[in-house]
Structure 1
Amino acid sequence: MVILDNIISDRGSKYAVSGGPCRSSDEARAFVEDLKKTKKFAKATHNSWALICAEGQIRQDDGESGAGMIILKMLEREGLTDHIVVVTRWFGGKHLGGDRFRHVQSAVRTYIEQLK
């Protein structure tokens, strides 16, 4: 599991991105549960994730409507399969509007760059 913490901060909201090898929806749920064993991630407002595996395309917004689809589309573009990417957000009290989608993209881009 790779965790890149405090990569984006905007109007009080903070973002992290994490990921690792993952081959099924069951493994994805276990991955997120492992991540949440760290108190900080358990208290996060959203842990949105996506995965492309033999089961197909799987995503979970975790209340951050549309975030899972953004992650999924970026994984598709990169051809990254059997690898989960989780974008975590701690809400800072001010709504970010469309900027939240830009931050999800930036977080995934940062993670993918770390893999190369």
Structure 2
Amino acid sequence: MKNTFLLGFLLLAAACTSPQQTTTAETQTTTQEPVGAAAVSETQAATIATRYFRSQPDSAVYQLNTLQVMEAGPHWQVLVKRSDRVGRMPDNSAIEVDKQTGAVSTVMVK
């Protein structure tokens, strides 16, 4: 009985201390792209976004020929269609590229 309790306690402690992995599709990440002192143009934002989407583990699902860049205040918002979401809404992914630094952050798509 005492050994069963001890074993149960050790298993519970191991389960609580093991690293938790989450596989959410829309996690907030920021990456710094090397950009000069000048502000990021629309064309540069498209290039940064293309590099970002190609670096993702599931890069094959992004249809980069559908990439759209829109001005959103201090950021460029970049939308791209996903082939794994055809017929379901939302069927695209979005990121924001900071106009001053070129930093990339993900955006929730509604």
TM class, shorter-length: 0.3 to 0.5
Greater RCO structure (CA 8 Å; 6+ sep): 1
Structure 2 length-normalised TM: 0.34
Q: Which has the greater radius of gyration?
A: 2
Structure 1 length-normalised TM: 0.33
